[in-house]
């Protein structure tokens, strides 16, 4: 599916991606749920392949990035100057450390809590996106606080693109179990 370029496409992709992910999770066997992730291979060099150990880790990652999206918009609606997407001290060069901190912070979170939290933030992010027009979402630099990109790209990244990433990871886990 091509990257969304309209509000309707963004909302459809977010809902479709979320539904595919939730359907896949619902189809996971007890063995798949109980078996720790083990991703090794020459093409699996990105930090996330080693970081996430189970479904809960993937789900809390999605939830936390959606929290970032919600805070990004909230902070910038009232800020005198642009507030970055990533919280200090993180930058786009150091966000792997932030992801590791998310992972560590949620080691006592249950899968049920993680799924509930993701469901809540998914609904909030979709509702937030619904409040913007096509122009506001997909015009580069429409808002000073989105830098050189458009607000819609942030929504896509924290919903459908991230759901695709999670689904790819879970399918790879299924192949290995």
End-to-end alpha-carbon separation of the chain, Å?
28
Residue 105 confidence class, pLDDT cut points 50, 70, 90: very high
Provide mean pLDDT across the span 58-69. Answer: 98
- Does the residue 18 lie in any domain? yes
- Does the residue 13 lie in any domain? yes
pLDDT of amino acid 175: 96
- Does the residue 67 lie in any domain? yes
Provide mean pLDDT across the span 133-154. Answer: 96
Its domain, for residue 18, covers 7-176
Domain total in the chain: 1
Torsions phi, psi of 167, nearest 5? Answer: -65, -40
pLDDT digit string (tens) for 69-96? 999 999 999 888 999 999 999 999 999 9
- Does the residue 113 lie in any domain? yes
pLDDT of amino acid 62: 98
CATH of the domain at 51: 1.20.120.450
- Does the residue 16 lie in any domain? yes
pLDDT of amino acid 78: 87
Residue 154 confidence class, pLDDT cut points 50, 70, 90: very high
- Does the residue 2 lie in any domain? no
Rounded Cα distance between 118 and 124, Å, is 10
Spatial neighbors of 131 by CB under 8 A, at least 6 apart, are none
- Does the residue 155 lie in any domain? yes
Q: Is 75 exposed, middle or buried (0-12, 13-18, 19+ CB in 10 A)?
A: middle
Provide mean pLDDT across the span 131-142. Answer: 97
Q: Is the pLDDT of residue 42 over 90?
A: no
Structure pTM? 0.97
Provide mean pLDDT across the span 108-124. Answer: 98
Residue 41 confidence class, pLDDT cut points 50, 70, 90: confident
- Does the residue 1 lie in any domain? no
CA atoms within 13 A on the CB side of 135: 0
Q: Is the pLDDT of residue 1 over 80?
A: no
């Amino acid at each position: 599916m091509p990257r969304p370029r309209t509000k309707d496409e963004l909302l459809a992709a977010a809902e479709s991606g979320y539904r595919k992910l939730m359907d896949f999770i619902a189809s996971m066997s007890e063995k798949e749920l109980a078996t720790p992730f083990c991703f090794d291979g020459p093409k699996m060099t990105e930090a996330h392949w080693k970081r996430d150990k189970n479904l809960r880790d993937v789900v809390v990652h999605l939830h936390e990035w959606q929290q970032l999206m919600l805070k990004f918009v909230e902070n910038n609606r009232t800020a005198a100057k642009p507030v970055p997407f990533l919280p200090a001290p993180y930058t786009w060069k150091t966000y792997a450390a932030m992801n590791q901190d998310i992972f560590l912070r949620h080691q006592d979170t249950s899968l049920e809590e993680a799924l509930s939290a993701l469901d809540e933030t998914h609904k909030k992010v979709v509702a937030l996106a619904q409040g913007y027009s096509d122009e506001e979402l997909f015009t580069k630099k429409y808002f000073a606080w989105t830098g050189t990109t458009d607000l819609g790209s942030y929504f896509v990244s924290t919903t459908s693109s991230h759901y695709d990433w999670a689904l790819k990871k879970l399918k790879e886990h299924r192949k290995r179990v």
